[in-house]
Amino acid sequence: MKRILLTGVAGNLGKIVRVKLAGWADVMRLSDLNEITDASATEEVQCCDLGDREAVMKLVEGCDGIIHLGGISTENTFDSILNGNIVGTYNLYEAARKHGVKRILFASSNHTIGFHERETQLDADSTMRPDSLYGVSKCYGEMLASLYYDKFGIETARVRIGSCFEKPLDRRMLATWLSADDFVSLIKRIFECDRLGCPVIYAASANAEQWWDNSKVSYIGWQPKDSSEKFAQQEYLQKRAVNANDPAVRYQGGGFASAGHFED
Ligand code: NAI
Ligand code: 15L
């Protein structure tokens, strides 16, 4: 890897990925809306708003690959989502096309399919059923990636991340949990495999409870190693759901499916 652009580096996942991938690329170009002041010798900083087309054009120049984590990461107003995730992702793909970037990891989300019921096993071809405006913006990002692959040959891993936190925060996350190490091993496979294409990849650890089938993407050779089982007996995860028909329990998106709607 020569020069990799990492967007959203001041966020939860960006901070972790930056540390765990230190030394993996010759140069890591770091970007976020927020300031970054502590670049190492193999890092370069170029902060901007993803919604700023000219700035994003400059940001992508000279990069061989992009790990795109930046943007709005939970439900929000349409205007915020429009700037960060709709305009921002378009700006990034246009810049990638103009500067000849060959491979991108797009941080999509399980909220693209959050209105599927939990007992439905999903795979890469399952119908999108977004549970929020945020989820809709990730569906858009996935479709944009598909267009740029079919028309311009830019490969993208459309990674539907489950819940990447230090530990599962609630019982739902026993199924959706993704460890940081598993995420980083997935990133490496995405950029190191000979042929990627434009697959949808569900990013969850090897948890006992599984909602998502990745067999259509077995060719990239990613095997998650961690499991949420090591947390399953912890006190805070023992309280069972009172109402199995509560949308937060019924649907894969959990609280995103039951939450109210943001009005601008
Ligand atoms: P985060 O909210 O902690 O980080 C996102 C970063 O993007 C922030 O540092 C923020 O300043 C930056 N950002 C927001 N709008 C921007 C803009 N207009 N221009 C430039 N930068 C902007 O989110 P987190 O948890 O680190 O997630 C990273 C990515 O992974 C997000 O795209 C999120 O949607 C996706 N994801 C994360 C999951 C998780 O479990 N953490 C689950 C599913 C998807
Ligand atoms: C996401 O898409 C969010 O970015 C993250 O903060 C979590 O809410 C995660 O999904 C989840 O579903 O747990």
Reported as a single tens digit per residue, the pLDDT across 148-201 is: 999 999 999 999 999 999 999 999 999 999 999 999 999 999 999 999 999 999
Q: Against a cut of 0.85, is the pTM above it?
A: yes
CB atoms within 10 A of CB 65: 21
List the residue whose alpha carbon is closest to atom 9 of ligand 2. 163
Which CATH superfamily includes the segment(s) 3-258? NAD(P)-binding Rossmann-like Domain (3.40.50.720)
Q: Is 134 a catalytic residue?
A: yes
Average predicted confidence (pLDDT) for the chain: 97
Q: How would you classify the pairing of strands 155-161 and 65-68?
A: unpaired
What is the number of the ligand 1 atom nearest to the C-alpha of 47?
20
List the residue whose alpha carbon is closest to atom 2 of ligand 2. 109
CA dihedral 43, 186, 136, 120 (to 10 degrees): -160
What is the number of the ligand 1 atom nearest to the C-alpha of 163?
40
From 9, 13, 15, 75, mutation site for ligand 1 pocket: most ligand atoms within 8 A of C-beta: 13
How is residue 69 annotated by DSSP? -
Ranges of each domain in the chain: 3-258
Q: Alpha-carbon distance 61 to 96, whole Å?
A: 8
Task: Give residue-wise pLDDT tens across range 230-259.
Answer: 999 999 999 988 899 999 999 999 999 999
Catalytic residue among 90, 134, 202, 251: 134
Q: Alpha-carbon distance 209 to 175, whole Å?
A: 5
From 69, 136, 159, 177, mutation site for ligand 1 pocket: most ligand atoms within 8 A of C-beta: 69
What is the number of the ligand 1 atom nearest to the C-alpha of 164?
40
Q: How far is CA 243 from the centre of its chain?
A: 30
